[in-house]
Amino acid sequence: MLNSETISSPDSTYVNILHSCHDHQAIAYYEKHGASTVEHAFAIANILHIHSKVLEASYFYRVAFDLHGKTQTEFPLPQSLLQVRLLCLLKSSNVPPPEELEELATYSPALANYIRGIQIAWQDGKVGQGLDLIGNAFEIFHSG
């Protein structure tokens, strides 16, 4: 699975994750570009996400976030990377780490509430409460 304690280096972790999910496009991208920049880790995450490998995508979105300079002039924005990572965790039926939700809230309280609202709706079945928490968070999405 995604247990980094049993793997000695980031490169071997990346390879193990990509091979375990059998995504040939993501593997080919990694073999050509690696995952040592925000751009490349983000591209791999997007490939995995598009192919419904959401748990694996969440890992690479976190890699991209960790590589990010955390400035509001570097795209994708740090809050966008963290938001999509947490959303992928929810899509894979996992609980977002509370410390990552708090980290997201430091960049964007609205996006943190979006993730909390999705979690309440999907995992707790409280759709109305989730929608109330989400509010108008969609206004700050990069797509408007």
Question: Rounded to whole angstroms, how far apart are CA atoms 53 and 14?
Answer: 14
Q: What is the pTM of this model?
A: 0.88
Packed helices 98-107 and 109-123: angle between N→C axes, nearest 10 degrees? 140
Question: Rounded to whole angstroms, how far apart are CA atoms 44 and 57?
Answer: 7
pLDDT at 108 over 80: yes
Split at pLDDT 50, 70, 90, the class of 140 is confident
Domain ranges of the chain: 4-140
pLDDT tens per residue, range 119-135: 999 988 999 999 999 98
pLDDT tens per residue, range 72-93: 999 999 999 999 999 999 999 9
